[in-house]
Amino acid sequence: MTASSSAEPSVDLVTLGQRLRHLRRSKGLTLDQLSDAVGRAPSQLSLIENGKREPKLSVLQAIAGALGVPLQDLLRPEAPSRRAGLEIELAHFQQNPAYQALGLPVVRAGRRLPADALEALIGMHRELNRVLTEQSATPEVARRANAQLRAEMRKRNNYFAEIEQAAANVLRSVRHTTGPLSQRGILDIAAQIGFTLHYVNDLPSSTRSVTDLKNRRIFLPQVASGKGHDPRAVVLQTLGHFVLGHNDPADYGDFLRQRVEVNYFAAALLMPEKFAAEFLSAAKADKALAIDDFRDAFGVSYETAAHRFTNLATHHFGIPVHFARVHESGIVYKAYENDNVRFPSDVTGAIEGQPVCRKWASRTVFEADDPYSSFYQFTDTTAGTYWCTVHVESTSAGLFSVTVGTPYEHARWFRGGDVTGRTVSNCPDPDCCRRPPAELVDRWAGNAWPSARVHSHLLAALPPGTFPGVDNRDVYDFLERRA
């Protein structure tokens, strides 16, 4: 910051004002006395103390000099006292557009406001903010949050160095020196972090695990959920929240980010970066990169191996990739790309819930003679030619394809990169695969009335609560039984 600039943008003006007022009063100075010392009008200093004016650095330096304190004391982000902290919180709540839209008066939180009245106001504002947040947590909010997170992942090539480092530190702490992580290693990690694992048969149905922070216990289901969750990954994801320093999610976007981070953390433990990169490097040298081999080498699911490959492929080998998990109906459930492939998206930028082109490997695999065998395909698209390797898995919700793809020039590093199978996709042109052939239109237009299957979860608001979808009553009843 130069001498002519204003206070740093990251400095909260309300907090700055509170610190200035607190320091002035602690020195026994009135506004008039301080104004004489710094050569500024009392009204100007009053605006600064009330958080209504952004002071220049020269003014702050003069004030700090007059008060006999370092400039940094004025700029500290924390409130000078608990009372001041509550006054700052009230000021922020009242500056919220949602509150201002109610047309209610602004309450001055000066010394004349009793402490119990201030506490009551803060409590009501917190509850109002919670209710407004829950009401706004619509599917559109979720889709926008997901699109924003995916953009961040793309920017980082889906590689999170800080999580890789955290996982490496944990592995060193339990003296894990080579290869895949064993069940014994997972128990050692839990103990190292200070938790014990308990497998139960009455876990609340809305949860995959429940952690008792009071007694440092993690409760897990005795049997797998049947939804494709690796029980080892569930443990490591739970531990990841504590290793990565997560707090209660502030909103749905924060909840989603935490989910991505703990999934990454678990994969980084099950497939440690050092050993995974060495394995992939050797396979690349042989021009035999294969998600199947990667999966088998570390004893994880195909989807976990595919995700982990996208973490490491660009960072370590300069190979841009895309990943997709697509239902047999053609709907995208998960997707990621940093290779410029053009996934279908809605107006919010969300990919999830959109139908992919019928010519893409994610869908043509379902028409293969043996869809459960290794499947490879080149696809010419409007964004270029891509090579894909696809695996089909069967779940209680139907068949899903898991696809890893890369631009044409990188196919040479993969097993199956010399496949001759090829399709042409012109989507989003409706003539590519959306519009029925003319002869079918002539025969059936006006003579068909399908009853659509409405996915009601796409219309409903997200489940309320700090952890969306979790029934706190069930969780607390469960912990009380286990106490």
Task: Give span(s): CATH 1.10.10, the chain.
Answer: 146-270
User: Does the domain formed by 146-270 have CATH 1.10.287?
Assistant: no
- With pLDDT > 70 as the criterion, what percentage of the chain qualifies? 90
Region 144-153: mean pLDDT is 88
Provide the pLDDT confidence category of residue 8 given band limits of 50, 70 and 90.
Answer: very low
What's the pTM?
Answer: 0.68
Higher pLDDT, 261 or 463: 261
Prior bond of 355 cis (ω within 30°):
no
Which ranges of 183-223 does DSSP label H, i.e. alpha helix?
183-193
Predicted pLDDT of residue 30: 92
Provide the pLDDT confidence category of residue 424 given band limits of 50, 70 and 90.
Answer: very high
Position 278 pLDDT exceeds 70? yes
- With pLDDT > 90 as the criterion, what percentage of the chain qualifies? 43
State the SS3 of 336-382.
Answer: EECCCCCCCCCCCCCCCCCECCCCCHHHHHHHCCCCCCCEEEEEEEC
Residue 93, token pair as written in the block: 């709540």
- Over the Cα atoms of the chain, what is R_g? 29
What stretch of H or E contains 161? Answer: helix 161-173
| Closest by Cα among 332, 377, 383 to 354 | 332
Region 416-434: mean pLDDT is 92
Q: What is the DSSP letter of 56?
A: B
Stretch among 21-35, 140-154, 231-245 having the lowest mean pLDDT? 140-154
309 with 280: CB under 8 angstroms? yes
- pLDDT tens-digit series, residues 184-241: 888 999 999 999 999 888 888 888 888 898 899 999 888 655 455 567 888 899 899 9
Predicted pLDDT of residue 236: 92
Region 452-479: mean pLDDT is 63
Higher pLDDT, 464 or 96: 96
Position 136 pLDDT exceeds 90? no
Distance of CA 230 to the CA centre of its chain: 20
Region 299-324: mean pLDDT is 96
- pLDDT tens-digit series, residues 82-130: 888 888 888 888 887 777 777 788 888 878 888 898 899 999 888 887 7
Residue 341, token pair as written in the block: 């492939």
Task: Give span(s): CATH 1.10.260.40, the chain.
Answer: 13-102
Strand partners, 405: 322, 388
- pLDDT tens-digit series, residues 254-268: 888 999 999 999 999
Q: Which CATH number fits domain 13-102: 1.10.260.40, 3.40.50.720, 2.40.50.140, 2.20.25.90?
A: 1.10.260.40
Mean pLDDT of all residues belonging to the chain: 86
